[in-house]
């Protein structure tokens, strides 16, 4: 959030609104404060003045951020003055230029109503200090209790101090940005890993199921003839082919930044996508003897969307409906059209869940519960499903009660 301060320019008798360091600016670190203290101490000793100051501008006040540890310095760290006097530093901030006042007690502009003159700080040399984005930090200045015209060498010295201070502010911003980038990259990496875990889990599960079916066939091979064996092998072949296709997509996605993927809309048939997913989970459905019922308003429900993203989302939802369903349970999937939107409902008669579980369903929780047949969970919930649905402009809602199953409804835009 941006913050502003209103300062008074005594020489022109004007007020000016300036942008100051926002709440998002980094805190000045202790090691930098130590460095600044050394700089202001050294500069004050070289110029031979009682007071060297680094001032920070606030919304209503200006404060002594650091004072030089020199004899006779009347200021204290943390000391504040209200922005009502038109102080030396206010003019520096407002003009963004250096200010030299050799002797304020002889100046019609500076001698009256001046708190610095009241404590005999009658001469002044100061420069503005700004953050890299132009927001004002404050000033760096020297004050003397006697007339002082400050030589060009002293001006150059204080100018170098100003440059050091602003370089440090820039380094602070750069470090803050690097930390934010690192944090974002770490989060992206974690989410990408969870995504890959989710998809690979489905592939592994399907391959494991196929493996079990093949072993069962081998064990009871004598009980099969060609007519009964062929459809089983065809089913396993289709399931294996779909697993291979998903694995290829997985390898392709792993080479790219998954979370930066943008939807590539094309005309797709929603019912065909659902039917393909049901074939993928055919053996898992068979093992639990789940009764699958589909209801489509048309066999050719066309929509413009990204097929890969929509498939991943639907596959995860249907996988959960199977995973948490009971043996001999029901799985009902319907596709309806309402105005210019498509509504997909996926309902099961499984374990169900309480409202507090629904509330955190779209967040990552390691160690989620296993399925009703002890199926593993990827520990990712529906976080990536939600991520892709958001990219597609789709809405998702979940209703469920423990022991009474779960219903998930997707609303897909035109």
Within this chain, do residues 30 and 139 fall inside the same structural domain, yes or no? yes
Give pLDDT tens digits for 300-350. Answer: 999 999 998 898 889 889 988 998 999 999 999 999 999 889 999 999 999
Structural domain contains residue 213 = no
Structural domain contains residue 349 = yes
Taking the alpha carbons at both ends of the chain, their separation in whole angstroms is: 37
Q: How many distinct structural domains can be found in the chain?
A: 2
- Among candidate residues 89, 215, 213, the one with its CA nearest the CA of residue 142: 89
Task: Tell me which of 154, 178, 202 is where a domain ends.
Answer: 178
Residues 6+ apart with CB under 8 A from 128: 92, 93, 96, 97, 136, 138, 139, 162
Task: Tell me which of 163, 178, 193 is where a domain ends.
Answer: 178
Structural domain contains residue 183 = no
Within this chain, do residues 289 and 170 fall inside the same structural domain, yes or no? no
Structural domain contains residue 256 = no
Cα Rg, the chain, nearest whole Å: 35
Q: What is the CATH number of the domain that holds 403?
A: 3.30.565.10
Within this chain, do residues 167 and 276 fall inside the same structural domain, yes or no? no
Within this chain, do residues 170 and 281 fall inside the same structural domain, yes or no? no
Structural domain contains residue 140 = yes
Whole-angstrom Cα distance, residue 376 to residue 393? 30
Task: Tell me which of 149, 178, 207 is where a domain ends.
Answer: 178
Structural domain contains residue 10 = yes
Q: Which tokens in the block code for residue 300?
A: 């050719």
Within this chain, do residues 30 and 165 fall inside the same structural domain, yes or no? yes
Give pLDDT tens digits for 142-169. Answer: 999 999 999 999 999 999 999 999 999 9
Within this chain, do residues 161 and 269 fall inside the same structural domain, yes or no? no
Q: Which residues of the chain fall below pLDDT 70?
A: 188, 190-202, 205, 242, 244-261, 364-381
Q: What is the CATH number of the domain that holds 59?
A: 3.30.450.40
Q: Which long-range contacts (CB under 8 A, 24 or more apart) does 259-265 make?
A: 259/188, 259/191, 259/192, 259/195, 259/387, 261/309, 261/391, 262/391, 263/305, 263/306, 263/309, 263/391, 263/392, 264/306, 265/304, 265/305, 265/306
Domain residues for 385? Answer: 262-414
In the chain, the largest separation of any two C-alpha atoms, in whole Å, equals: 116
Whole-angstrom Cα distance, residue 51 to residue 89? 14
């Amino acid at each position: 959030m941006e913050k502003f301060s209103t300062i008074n320019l005594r020489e022109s008798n004007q007020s000016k609104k300036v942008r100051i360091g926002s709440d998002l600016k980094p805190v000045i670190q202790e090691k930098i404060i130590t460095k600044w203290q050394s700089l202001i101490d050294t500069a004050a000793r070289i110029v031979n003045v009682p007071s060297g100051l680094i001032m920070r501008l606030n919304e209503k006040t200006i404060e002594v951020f650091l004072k030089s540890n020199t004899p006779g310095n009347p200021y204290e760290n943390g000391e504040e003055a209200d922005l009502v006097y038109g102080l030396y530093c206010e003019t520096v901030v407002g003009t963004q230029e250096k200010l030299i006042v050799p002797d304020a007690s002889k100046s019609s502009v500076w001698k009256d109503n001046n708190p610095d003159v009241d404590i005999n700080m009658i001469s002044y040399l100061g420069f503005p200090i700004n953050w890299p984005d132009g927001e004002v930090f404050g000033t760096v200045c020297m004050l003397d209790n006697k007339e002082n015209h400050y030589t060009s060498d002293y001006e150059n010295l204080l100018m170098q101090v100003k440059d050091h201070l602003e370089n440090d502010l820039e380094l602070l911003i750069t470090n803050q940005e690097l930390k934010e980038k690192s944090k974002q990259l770490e989060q992206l990496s974690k989410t990408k890993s969870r995504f890959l875990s989710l998809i690979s889990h489905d592939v592994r599960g399907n391959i494991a199921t196929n493996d079990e079916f093949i072993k069962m066939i081998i064990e009871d091979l004598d009980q099969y003839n060609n007519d009964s064996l062929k459809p089983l092998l065809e089913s396993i072949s289709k399931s294996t082919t779909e697993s291979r296709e998903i694995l290829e997509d997985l390898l392709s996605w792993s080479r790219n930044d998954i979370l930066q993927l943008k939807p590539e809309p094309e005309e797709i048939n929603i019912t065909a996508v659902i039917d393909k997913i049901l074939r993928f989970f055919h053996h898992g459905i068979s093992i639990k003897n789940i009764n699958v019922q589909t209801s489509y308003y048309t066999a050719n429900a066309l929509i413009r969307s990204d097929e890969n993203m929509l498939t991943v989302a639907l596959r995860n939802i249907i996988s959960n409906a199977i995973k948490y369903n009971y043996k001999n349970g029901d799985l009902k999937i319907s596709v309806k059209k309402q105005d210019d939107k498509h509504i997909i409902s996926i309902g099961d008669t499984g374990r169900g869940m309480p409202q507090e579980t629904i509330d955190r369903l779209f967040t990552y929780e390691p160690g989620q519960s296993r399925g009703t047949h002890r199926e593993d969970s990827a520990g990712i919930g529906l976080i990536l499903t939600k991520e892709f649905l958001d990219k597609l402009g789709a809405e998702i809602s979940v209703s469920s009660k423990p022991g009474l199953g779960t219903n998930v409804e997707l609303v897909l835009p035109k």
